Structures are given as structure tokens and as C-alpha cells.
Structure 1
């Protein structure tokens, strides 16, 4: 199968065309459940899932400059930011390549309101030709300009994220193999960081080791910079800085790494810079370990999200105010559905659903 992007000129561990066909069928299954004739994707994680187009994903996420139209009973069309069809050659799930009429402000300025009419007209033509009279179009993420133009053409817009998130949630066996390839790269990056860690280096310098390993081994990017040391570790969510790590510091990080084949490795680690942890550091680490191991042990297919929340490790009062926002969440091409809330937060913020075979879950602490 043809590869594009970071892993080109290497041998994939699975048939990528099998992965591509599975993912497209997942989308179409969810489209049928919501009775939509078309699915319009601008979120670059979703376009990757639909057709495995990899070029310039980060740049294209800044603007509405690449999208994919998926017909329930017709073609899949990639609208790209420029006329470079060689970037999507030999992808079996892609039927047609077009250049997107640039209606976003950077590309069109004040002409966008006119250019968007051309784009909406092309989507309408596809819906008419392949929708069987069904005017329901699911859209994942689109500006008011684009949405207004599509509605002006008589199309009924439906929320598309519920299609993409639930489709992506269940992985094929081949996807699991690709996720393991991403995690192998992530673990290699973590090992590189561990070997480099010493008093006096900056948090940024340590974090750079993860980036270097990921890029060198065919990974793609890292979503955050969540690494902090010493007094910066709690409360959580500070990103890495020019602070110099000191001997005896507790160091914590969350990889959020998009590795080979576009799959996310969401792995957290906590280390001591130096040989010995204090008794208090050991106590805190032990509580986190206890929480994660317990929560892993209760998971099984068929459980409701509420049941998971009820059976998970009860957080002691001393840690409750700084609890993580998510108890357990899905992971695939990025952090994704489901997002299971702590029991304390379930009534106010949670939603229910069922754990399914093939879901990949990240257990937080």
C-alpha cells in the first residue's frame, strides 16, 4: 500500500489499505445511523481518518483550506488547498481530488463571501448526484461563512463530530498494531529523556529529546508541552519552560505524542532528578499508582460510563480539589471519545454510553 508523509520509504507493519477501508466504513456506518447523505470534514484529524491524507496537517488546521466530502452512497472527494494531486496518489478510498475554492479570509480576503458560493455549489452538486434526495449534510467544523452558504443552498446541516468521534472510537486489529508502533516510538523518546535527565538542564531541553526522537523515527508532532519540575508540578497543566531542573526535583510530563501513522501515544511519567525520592514523594507516587492499577482492573466491554465512574478508585479528600478533569478517555489519532468523568463530576458534566470491544482507553490519575 502506498504511504505518504513521514513513514514514506519504509515498510508498514500492516496493509494500510485495509486500515483505510475499515475507517471509511466506520464513518459510513455512523452516517447511516444518523440518516445523512453526506459528511463534510474540515478537522484535520478527521480528514486523516477518512482518507489518510497527511500533508501539512498542522498548517491546514489553522485555516479552512483542506476538507473531505464523504458520500454515504457515492464518492469520497478531497478538496485540497492547492493543485498537488501527487500528495494523495494511490489512496484507494479517495475517488476524486479537487482544489478547494479558498473562501477563508487569509486566502480570499473580502472576496470570501463570493468564493464560498462556488464551494457550496460543488457540495450541493455532490449531494444532488449521490444523496437520493436526502439533503442532510453532517459537518464537523466550519465557519459561519461556510455554514451560511451551505444552508442558503437548501442543505440541512447536522452535527458531524458525533459521527467522527464514535466512528474513531472502535479500532480494528490493524489499527492496534499501528498504535503499538506509535507507542514504541514514544517509549524510545521517553528513554532518551531519562538518559539525558540531570541537574542543571532546562525543562525545554529535556522536552526537546522527545521531539527529536519522534521526528527521527517517523512520528509527526506533539500536541502539548506538558512537562514541569519541582514547585511547578502542582497544580498540573504548566508547560515546560526555561526553568533549570534541580537535584531532588520531582518531574512530571504527559507525552501527547502523535507518532508514526498519525496515532497518538498519551503516556505520563513522573521521575526524580537524582537517586532518592523523599518519603512524601514515594507516598504521592504510590497513591497515583494505586489509583491507575485499580481503575484498569475494573474495565470490561459492556460497562456503562456511569458504572465505570462508580467503580473507580475513590479519590481521598486531600487530592480531590486538584483531580484531573478526565477519569478515563479514549485515544486514537488524538484524545477522543469517550471522556468519562469522575463520580464527583458525573451529574454535572458527565454523559453515559457503553464501553465497546476495540476501544483504546487512557486511564488518568
Structure 2
């Protein structure tokens, strides 16, 4: 069954008469079309009963057809009101579900075009489908994991004292493409004190001998599925003793989380297993983020591996396991793998060395 038919059935079961989905991962998932997020409206109109329609500007019709989508396409001209077209396709309904990332201007315009319909967020509906990966999706994530592993395996080509984070990051970005990705989504090279900022941007800081360096990288494959992996390096010299002590704790926590995660346990329990080890060692206040996030056609999606999320993990759920310890102003470390729940366990999709790598 096609993904849009599954979404259609879910919408009907939840009392949503039609879905309107604009460019983004949900649209790609439901239609196969990677639409540009232009000022001109593109959207999927998916009624709870009946055939869907992909609404595109006339100048984008060829691109939509080339995507291979099996959904009928309706176009609108520059001088036409696309929301009037959407309203005709939706018809006289009580409830319309809109995707979570629809621009506010479009939400208001759609509301004006359908004044008697209630609008509700439908992102969680599509996430119910996206959160459990099929065998084909798992294979796509597996290939993404292999591709980003190949980049980490080449780190000695670029990471060395005397180079700036920005110079190293540029080399990594080229390698992400060279190793099979379609786009580079992010490159984090956090050296020395910059490693204490989990989402550090590349800077002109010169990497020094003995600096611990956090390298967190990811991209999107031609399949549309994402990679994300973090490893830790020391470029020449010896890392500080306090860092090495904390790193051993981080390795222990990461291993415990990998061994614990499987179908039947809760997302929050995976977080707690690692956090308790880090806290017992005296670093609890230095683990400043959740353990992980789901991954698929977006780098961050459900399920989130965080305290308070009592979601029970199931086969096909894919997510990161990435505990971290951060000493503000000094250094930091994070170990990150992507993993997917199998029928009775866990498959880890990143397998480069997790220990501190000396270059």
C-alpha cells in the first residue's frame, strides 16, 4: 500500500476530512516529490476519501512529473489564486489537517479560502507512519551510515594541528559528497573549548596539539535518508587527563545505552540508563541534552530519546544514541551512533571506532 493511502486511512479514522501538505519531508514521504519551498504554492491535497491531487505552479509541472509520483497533478498560472484551487479540491468539509511546517501565511490563506473548515495540525498523523521504517527504509539508513562512516575513516587526511576548524570542515564537506551523499546537512568541528558547545559552528580557531576535537557530521543520500555520526579525535599531542577520565565514563554510558535499547523498552529508559552512569561519575550536570533523536528523511524526527517520553520502542524505529559530557570553556565529547530496532534487538548503523582516536 502506498504511503499516501496509509495516511488517507489514518486521516479518516481520526475524523480529518482532508490533508494539505506543503514542501518538506512529509510531502516527499507521501508523494516522492522533492518540491522546492518557493513563494509559489505547492501542496498535496489528500482527501480522506477519494483521489489525491498534487497542486504545483505551472512552471514546476515538469519537475513534479519527473519525480515519478503516481498522484495526479493540477497546475495553476501566475495570475491565478492557488488557494482557490485548493479549496475546490478540498470541497465542503468540516476539518482540514495541515502539516506542522506550513508557513503561517499559507495557514491564514488556506483558512480564508475554507472559512467553514476547522484547521488542525496533522504532523503527528504522518509521523505515525514515518516513525516505523520499512525494510527498504532501514536499508537506505544503513547505506547512509556506511557513507558517513567512510568520511570518519578518512579524518586523518584533514584533521591536524595548525589548521583551522573551517579548513577542516570544508574538506569534510567535500568528502561527504564524494562518499555518496547528495547534500551536506551539517559539519561540526569543535576543537578545544569549542567542543563544549554541542552545536558549535565552524570557526577560524586554529587547532592545537593535544586539543580534543568533536566531529559531528551528516548529510542526505540520494534516497532522501539522512546520516548523522559523531566521533572524537585528538590531533597530535595528548589530551588532558581530566578529559580522558570523562571520556571513559562516556564510553561506558554509550555502551550501556546500546545494550539496553530494543523493542519493548521506553525511549526515556534509554536516556536514563546512560544518564545514571554519567551522573554517578559526577558529570550529571555536564550532560546537557537528550540522548537522541529519530532519523529518516529528516535528521531530527520522532522518536526522541529523552526523559519524559514514555513511548515504547518498536521494530523499525530508528534513532541516535549520543550522550555527551561538556566542560564549558575547556573541552567536550559526544559519541553518536544511529541505531534501528530489529524484531528482537538493535542494529547499530555506525561502526567506526568509538574510542578517542589519536591522529
| TM-score, length basis structure 2 | 0.78
Partner of 2:3: 23
| Structure 1 pair 35–210 and aligned structure 2 pair: CA distance change class (3 A) | farther
Partner of 2:173: 211
Partner of 2:319: 361
| Structure 1 pair 298–32 and aligned structure 2 pair: CA distance change class (3 A) | farther
Query: Take 1:194 and 1:127, find their aligned partners in 2: how far apart are those partners?
Result: 56
| Structure 1 pair 145–300 and aligned structure 2 pair: CA distance change class (3 A) | same
Residues paired across the two proteins, number: 317
Once the 2 structures are TM-superposed, how far is the Cα of residue 273 of structure 1 from its aligned partner? 0.4
Once the 2 structures are TM-superposed, how far is the Cα of residue 100 of structure 1 from its aligned partner? 5.6
Partner of 2:94: 135
8 Å contact from structure 1 (residues 229, 249) kept in 2: yes
| TM-score, length basis structure 1 | 0.77
8 Å contact from structure 1 (residues 221, 259) kept in 2: yes
Partner of 1:44: 24
Q: Does 1:298 align with 2:242?
A: no
User: 1:4-23 alignment to 2 at 5 Å?
Assistant: 22-23=2-3
8 Å contact from structure 2 (residues 256, 273) kept in 1: no
Once the 2 structures are TM-superposed, how far is the Cα of residue 26 of structure 1 from its aligned partner? 4.3
| Structure 1 pair 245–33 and aligned structure 2 pair: CA distance change class (3 A) | farther
Partner of 1:272: 234
SS at match of 1:224: strand
Query: Take 2:283 and 2:20, find their aligned partners in 1: how far apart are those partners?
Result: 43
Once the 2 structures are TM-superposed, how far is the Cα of residue 64 of structure 1 from its aligned partner? 6.3
Structure with higher helix content: 1
1:84 alignment partner, one of 60, 63, 76: 60
Once the 2 structures are TM-superposed, how far is the Cα of residue 35 of structure 1 from its aligned partner? 2.4
User: What RMSD in Å do the two structures reach over aligned CA positions?
Assistant: 2.7
After the TM superposition, which of the residue ranges 31-40 and 195-204 deviates more from structure 2?
A: 31-40
- Contiguous gaps of at least 5 residues in structure 2: 324-359
Once the 2 structures are TM-superposed, how far is the Cα of residue 358 of structure 1 from its aligned partner? 0.5
| Structure 1 pair 91–225 and aligned structure 2 pair: CA distance change class (3 A) | closer
Structure with higher strand content: 2
Once the 2 structures are TM-superposed, how far is the Cα of residue 164 of structure 1 from its aligned partner? 2.4
| Structure 1 pair 276–358 and aligned structure 2 pair: CA distance change class (3 A) | same
| Structure 1 pair 89–292 and aligned structure 2 pair: CA distance change class (3 A) | same
